[in-house]
Amino acid sequence: MDLSVIVPMHNEADNVAPLVSEVRAALDGAGLAWELLCVDDGSDDGTRAALAAARAAEPRLRAVRHARRAGQTAALASGLALARGEAIGTLDGDLQNDPADLPRLLAVLREGGWDMVAGYRAARRDGWAKRLSSRLANGFRRAWLHDGILDIGCSTRVFWRVHATRLKLYDGLHRFLPALFVMEGLRVHQMPVNHRPRTAGRSKYGVGNRLARTLRDLGAVRWMRDRALRVEHEEIEPS
C-alpha cells in the first residue's frame, strides 16, 4: 500500500462524506493504493454515524472511535498504530486542508529522498484571531527551537511510516511533528499547499487556548531537545 491517510476528527459529521469523496478523487486519480483512517475522538454529534455510512460505500475507509475525547495527538497515535501504508499522510478533519495536495507531496517525498514533506499555508483562509494565534505560536517556536519549520500548524504532511516508530508522542506533540523529525536528524522539506475556509462545523481553538497550549508544549519539546543523547563513538582496534 502506497499511502495511509490519517484524519483525526471531533464533531465533524458534515465533513465526513466530502472528505472521503475528495480523498478518493485525489488518490485514485494519482493511481495510488491507499487507505483512509478516520479517528473519531469522542465526538458527541453524528460523526460516528456518518463514518459508518461512508464506510459502507468505501471499503478503503477505516474508522475507529475513542470512547472519550483524548485529544488530537492521541487520535494521530491511534491512526499510526493501525496504518499499513509505506507512507503516512495527515489532514485535519475540517476540510481546510486539500487532499489534492497529497499526491504531489508524496511524489516529492519519493523523488527527493526526504523523510518528511511538510506543507505550509502560503495563503491562510482563516479569521484574524486564528491567523494571529498561529503567527505568535510559530514565532515563539522558531525562536526557541531554531527548527526552520515555517508553519508547524499545517497538518498537510507526508512522511515514511518507518520513521513514525522512532517518535514517542505525548499529549499536544502532534503540532510539533515536523520539529520532532528535525530533532531526530531526519530531513524535512517544505512546500506551499492549498488552504480553504471552513464550510461546516466550527473551530475548536482560539487565540487563548491555542497559544497557551503551544507555549506549554513548547517547553516540553525544548526540554527534550536539550537533553537528547548525542554521543559520538568509535571502536577501539587491537594495537
Model pLDDT for residues 40-91, shown as the tens digit of each residue: 999 999 999 999 999 999 999 999 999 999 998 899 999 999 999 999 999 9
Give CA angle at 175 (141, 35), nearest 5°.
150
What pLDDT band is residue 216 in, cutting at 50, 70 and 90? Answer: low
Residue 159 corresponds to which cell in the numbers above?
512522511
For the sheet with 116-121, list strands across it: 61-66, 34-41, 3-9, 87-90, 157-160, 116-121, 188-193
pLDDT surpasses 90 at 95:
yes
Separation of alpha carbons 47 and 49, rounded Å: 6
pLDDT surpasses 80 at 157:
yes
According to DSSP, the residues that pair with 157 across neighbouring strands are 90, 118
Predicted confidence at residue 205, as pLDDT, reads 47
Predicted confidence at residue 110, as pLDDT, reads 97
**pTM of the complete model:** 0.80
Model pLDDT for residues 190-209, shown as the tens digit of each residue: 999 999 988 886 665 444 45
Predicted confidence at residue 208, as pLDDT, reads 47
CATH number of 3-226: 3.90.550.10
